[in-house]
């Protein structure tokens, strides 16, 4: 798996809740455009990470115990290797268009949401399939047999929002 991080702008404060960014909008746009569209299109999950307050690091208990999280991930992996045992692959990311069509069926509400998002976000065919695969994984992590509209909505949140906002 490839994991990478970038600053939102040259000074690093573009989305910071308290410290003001000193970059002009044109500078921010130029900075974020340095990553090409076709490259961004191949990334499955985008997450904006706000700064963590010192008090939170010190005082708060971690949200989800990592051993529980590990169990949930292992269960989801088992579900996936089971799903694909006749196809000879192990996980959702390996699905081609035929498998996406077969294993990522949506109900009517979810279909309507995906159609609206495809138009609004101007999604490529590749991005469209990636969203369905990520939705399938979110459903698997939740222990759900079918992809629900909430799973699709979560997957859509992880798309690049043109970065600059």
Q: How far is the CB of 13 from Zn ion (least distance, A)?
A: 5
User: What φ, ψ does residue 131 adopt, rounded to 5°?
Assistant: -60, -40
Least distance (Å) between residue 7 CB and Zn ion: 8
Q: Alpha helices of 4-161 — where are they, by DSSP H?
A: 25-32, 37-41, 54-59, 66-83, 97-103, 108-120, 125-141, 149-157
Q: Count residues contacting Zn ion (CB under 5 A)?
A: 5
User: Using CA atoms, how far apart are residues 10 and 71, in angstroms rounded to an integer?
Assistant: 39
Give 161's contacts (C-beta < 8 A, 6+ positions apart): 46
Q: Is 11 in the site for Zn ion (CB under 5 A)?
A: yes
Per CB under 5 A, does 164 bind Zn ion?
no
Question: Residue from 16, 21, 113, 121 that binds Zn ion (CB under 5 A)?
Answer: 21
Least Å distance between CB 25 and Zn ion?
10
> Is residue 9 close enough to count as binding Zn ion by CB under 5 A?
yes
Contact 117, 141 (CB under 8 A): no
Residue (20 or 82) nearer to Zn ion, CB: 20
Binding positions for Zn ion, rule: CB under 5 A: 9, 11, 14, 21, 23
């Amino acid at each position: 798996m490839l994991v990478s991080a970038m600053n939102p702008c040259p000074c690093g404060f573009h989305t910071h809740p308290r410290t003001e960014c000193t970059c002009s909008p044109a500078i921010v746009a130029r900075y974020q455009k340095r990553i090409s569209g076709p490259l961004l299109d191949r990334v499955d999950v985008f997450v904006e990470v706000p700064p963590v307050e010192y008090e939170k690091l010190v005082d708060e208990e971690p949200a989800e115990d990592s051993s529980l999280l590990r169990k949930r991930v292992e269960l989801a992996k088992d579900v996936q290797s089971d799903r694909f045992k006749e196809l000879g692959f192990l996980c959702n990311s390996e699905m081609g268009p035929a498998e996406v069509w077969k294993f990522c069926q949506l109900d009517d509400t979810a279909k309507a949401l995906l159609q609206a998002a495809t138009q609004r976000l101007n999604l490529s065919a590749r991005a469209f399939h990636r969203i369905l695969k990520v939705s399938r994984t979110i459903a698997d992590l939740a222990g759900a047999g079918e992809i629900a509209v909430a799973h699709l909505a979560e997957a859509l949140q992880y798309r690049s929002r043109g970065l600059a906002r």
